[in-house]
Amino acid sequence: MAAPVSATLPPQLAGKFKGSFAYNTIKDKLPVILTRVINNLEQHKNEFFEEHGEKGIEAEKKVIVLLTKLRDELQADKPLTALNDSLPDTTLWNQCLEYHQKLSDGPPSWFQSPWLYTECYMYRRIHEALAQNPPISDYDVFKKEKDHGFFESQEAIIVLSTYLQELLKNIKGLDEKFLKEEFLKLLQVSLWGNKCDLSMSAGADNSQKSDPLLSVEELKPFILVDHMEMLWSLLINKKNTNKQTTRLDIVLDNAGFELTADLILADFLLSSKLATEIHFHGKSIPWYVSDTTRRDLNWTIKQMQSANHKGMSRCGVCWEGYLKNGAWIFHDHLFWTSPHEYCRMAQVAPDLYSELQKSNLIVFKGDLNYRKLIADRKWEFTVPFHQALNNFHPAPLCSLRTLKCDIQVGLKPGQGEQLTNTEPDWMIIGKYGIIQFDAAS
């Protein structure tokens, strides 16, 4: 269930505000995503038949019927309905629906309910349609787009992996100044990798074509909140005090180029001993088109290993080794695919909150994580990040995000208004980014 809305909290974004970004997303983008999913299933009919015979074809037809119905419900702003599957998170979702039913004047619907809830609900309903129809229950309807995004970004991945391998040859001899320069550079590559978001492009190609390292300096003026120095200070101080373990957690966003950039950064942090163990948090089911699952991580590492390029293959071999020896650990808790904002985590998923409390620094990648961090509320631009987190302070944390929805906090007085005057769409076009830190104390 969602937390009661305090009188001091601003409203959540919702499709009921006509002309808003939430309204346009529900009206225009979500139906396109559903149509792409339906088309994807139709295109893979032969594959289902080859693997499962007539049962595969029958299951595909049933899933398409359910998803077509889902699209019709969305476009007609019909009431949201309870889930009928028997998956581990079904009760949680149905409790959430009951809570929204009590809050609303009428039954909660697609446009009238909070955008964060309804958008997550759509992806969970896609999963329900598949879960109810074996033998294709485990089919990832977004795999094709994610794989395409990786292959189309291959030149940029080659540049990054070659750069990393050269860097690692001399890593032990790097002085602190040089180490800092490399950390800041790879951190920014990880930030701008977040531009490659398939849910924003409704599944259309959104891969990384240019050299990501060359872009770092020219993109720096577009970082609206820059707390890189704070991150560096935290990590180098931990290293210099000879702390036995420095644990870094990365809450992942997109597969494809962004995931590869995150893994490059993670490899550098481990090799430079700025971190001694890295925990990745991904999705347990296909989510928001391009979000990273365990399967995506394993697939990416296999692709790197088998690539016909020395730098890529060396990265892949090394990364598989990190996973085997426990230096890298992947988690996929069900909370990450719930509709809950993160200020509810301690109550809804106390085990996950306790796990995050063991971290020395948590890095949250991307827009959806930012929306959940600040509860998808229309805060004033100048509200401090710490305040907007609303008591979500498990450990020092940081958001790496390119702006693709209309919320942002922690700006300087007048900064948001000035941007609005000169570039009205600045919050939704992915041109600007933040590296925003909260010390948690």
pLDDT digits (tens, 9 = 90+) for 233-257: 999 999 999 778 999 999 999 999 9
φ, ψ of residue 370 to 5 degrees: the values are -65, -40
Could you say which DSSP state residue 394 is in? S
- Rounded (10°) CA dihedral 425, 427, 433, 435: 160
The predicted structure's pLDDT at residue 2: 44
Is it true that the peptide bond before 221 is cis, omega within 30 degrees of 0? no
Average pLDDT of the residues of the chain:
94
Q: Which two tokens stand for residue 129?
A: 């349609």
Contacts of 35 (CB under 8 A, 6+ apart): 71
Give ∠ CA 279-217-273 in degrees, rounded to 5: 30
Q: Which two tokens stand for residue 205?
A: 């190609």
**pLDDT tens, residue by residue, 181-192:** 999 999 999 999
The predicted structure's pLDDT at residue 6: 47
| Sequence ranges of the chain with CATH classification 1.20.930.60 | 21-131
Question: Among residues of the chain, what percentage have pLDDT more than 70?
Answer: 96
Residue 104's pLDDT band (cuts 50, 70, 90)? confident
**Whether pLDDT at 205 is above 90:** no
Q: Radius of gyration of the chain from Cα atoms?
A: 22
Helix/strand/coil for 426:
coil
What is the mean pLDDT of the segment spanning 318-323? 98
Q: Is the CB of residue 332 less than 8 Å from the CB of residue 284?
A: yes
Residue 107 has, within 13 A of its CA and on its CB side, a CA count of: 8
Question: Among the CATH numbers 3.40.50.2000, 3.30.1360.200, 3.40.50.300, 3.40.50.10880, which is that of 157-438?
Answer: 3.40.50.10880
| Sequence ranges of the chain with CATH classification 3.40.50.10880 | 157-438
**pLDDT tens, residue by residue, 362-382:** 999 999 999 999 999 999 999
CATH topology of domain 21-131: Transcription Elongation Factor S-II; Chain A (1.20.930)
Could you say which DSSP state residue 359 is in? -
The amino acid sitting at 241 is T
Of residues 102 and 420, more confidence is placed in 420
Strand order in the sheet with 277-281: 223-226, 433-438, 397-402, 361-365, 247-251, 277-281, 328-331
The predicted structure's pLDDT at residue 209: 66
